Amino acid sequence: MTDNKRSHIQPHTRDSSDGPHTAGRADAPPPGAEHIEAEVAVVGGGSAGLAAAVALARSRRDVVVIDAGRPRNAPAEGAHNVLGQEGIAPLELLARGRAEAEAYGVRFVSGRATGARGTIDDFH
């Protein structure tokens, strides 16, 4: 992707009125979808998504993270296999990662990605 390319991102927070037919539809944005432009969209704000977002932002990419805010490891007592952070509480690890990402200009959107479409040179 060239430096002047932008992706159009439309995150969506699913509610009880959404039926199963809406999951994964990419032909039209969901009602109330927010239009966001960025070079890179990272889906998921867990430790892997945050690491990717930080690496990309450090490489001067315009990054947005779309996250539903429901980390699957939240009930765990500690995170493991994280260099320098052995046993850290999962939510603390995410808070630190998010703060680091924000320091590099990463933007966060609350919601979930429901689909993507496009070609290499025109991705939405």
CATH of the domain at 22: 3.50.50.60
In the prediction, which pLDDT does 116 show?
74
Domain count, the chain: 1
> Which comes out higher in pLDDT, residue 88 or 15?
88
For 91-117, write each residue's pLDDT tens digit: 999 999 999 999 999 999 999 888 777
Can you tell me the distance from the alpha carbon of 60 to that of 74, in angstroms, rounded to the nearest whole number?
Answer: 31
124 inside domain: no
pTM comes to 0.70
Beta bridge partners of 109: 66
Q: Say if 77 falls within a structural domain.
A: yes
Domain annotation covers residue 2: no
CA torsion, ordered 89, 95, 96, 97, to nearest 10 deg:
110
On whether residue 57 sits in a domain, the answer given is yes
DSSP 90: H
Q: What is the pLDDT of residues 26-57, one digit of tens each?
A: 456 666 667 788 899 999 999 999 999 999 99
The answer to whether residue 86 sits within a structural domain is yes
Range of the domain at 76: 7-118
Residue 16 lies in a domain: yes
Give a yes or no: residue 33 inside a domain: yes
